[in-house]
Amino acid sequence: MRKVFIGAGLLGLGYGIYQYYMTQASILENFDYKVLRVKVISANLQRVEIQLDLEITNDSNISVTITDYYFDVMLNGQKVGEIRNASINQILNSNGGKSFFPLNIVINTSSFLKSNLVLGLVESIKDSTISYKGYFGIKKGFIKFKNIPLNETLKLREFM
């Protein structure tokens, strides 16, 4: 009978730890961010490279390290650029801590000219969508997750 109670206690402890980290992960997903600076690194007729500096506030009790990320950026379903690592192994501080992330964004200006994106934006900019699709990796201690998919779509009117 004693083994049953020990087993039940260990199961309860394991479930409690699991629930704690799942709750913290859901809080971590809803982080706040603020754009601090936008810097044009290079620009020519084919592409524009921008560095976007973000301040991210993490309200969860766990800090994680963002190991890598890559996202395709689409405007009205057409790929117009990509977001790449500006630096690797960036720590996302916990308990309302602020972390600073530089993002490198490469915009292919030729993609605007090849399609009717400009015409679509002129006709209905508020109904246009911007989306990013890609992956990121995180680690916490010795636990590491790679290639976690992320696919978000936003209306441009949300930025106006």
Do 14 and 40 fall into the same domain?
no
- Render pLDDT for 110-147 as a digit per residue (tens, 0 to 9): 776 666 666 666 566 667 788 889 888 888 888 888 88
Do 51 and 97 fall into the same domain?
yes
Q: Report residue 45: phi and psi, to 5°.
A: -70, -25
- Render pLDDT for 17-67 as a digit per residue (tens, 0 to 9): 888 777 776 776 677 778 888 888 988 888 889 888 888 888 888 888 888
Amino acid identity, position 6: I
Check if the beta carbon of residue 71 is closer than 8 Å to that of residue 83.
Answer: yes
* E strand intervals along the chain: 32-43, 47-58, 64-75, 78-85, 90-92, 97-108, 129-140, 143-155
Do 77 and 101 fall into the same domain?
yes
Domain that holds residue 5: 1-30
Domain count of the chain?
Answer: 2
Report d(CA 9, CA 15) in Å as an integer: 10
Do 54 and 72 fall into the same domain?
yes
For the cut 70, the answer to whether the pLDDT of residue 158 exceeds it is: no
